[in-house]
Amino acid sequence: MSPGDAGPRAVEDIRRRVAELGPWFHNLDLNGIETAPGHFLGNHPSDKWSRFAHALPDDLNGASVLDIGCNAGFHSFEMKRRGAGRVLGVDHDERYLAQAQFAAEILGFDVTFRQLSVYDVAALGERFDVVVFMGVLYHLRHPLLALDLIHEHVAGDMLLFQTLQRGTDEVHQVKSDYEFSEGEFDAEGYPLAYFVEHAYAGDPSNWWIPNRAGSEAMLRAAGFEIVSRPEPDTFICRRGASPWQGAVYPARGAAR
Has residue 21 been placed in a domain?
no
The amino acid occupying position 51 is R
- pLDDT reading at 124 higher than 70: yes
Per residue in 164-198, pLDDT (tens digit) is: 999 999 999 999 999 998 889 999 999 999 999 99
Has residue 127 been placed in a domain?
yes
Dump strand ranges (E) for the chain: 29-30, 33-34, 65-68, 87-91, 112-115, 128-134, 155-162, 193-195, 208-210, 224-231, 234-239
Predicted TM-score (pTM) of the model is 0.92
Count of residues making up the chain: 256
Has residue 148 been placed in a domain?
yes
Has residue 91 been placed in a domain?
yes
Has residue 248 been placed in a domain?
no
The CATH number linked to 224 is 3.40.50.150
Per residue in 11-23, pLDDT (tens digit) is: 999 999 999 999 9
C-beta separation of 86 from 64 below 8 A: yes
- Tally of domains in the chain: 1
Has residue 191 been placed in a domain?
yes
Pairing of strands 87-91, 112-115: parallel
Q: What is the pLDDT of residue 3?
A: 42
Residue range of the domain that includes 60: 43-171+182-239
Has residue 198 been placed in a domain?
yes
**Cα–Cα distance, 156 to 78 (Å, whole number):** 19
Has residue 247 been placed in a domain?
no
Q: Give the DSSP H/E element, type plus range, for residue 143.
A: helix 143-149
- pLDDT reading at 247 higher than 70: no
Q: Which residues contact 39 (CB under 8 A, 6 or more apart)?
A: 25, 27
Summarize the confidence of residues 226-234 as an average pLDDT.
Answer: 98
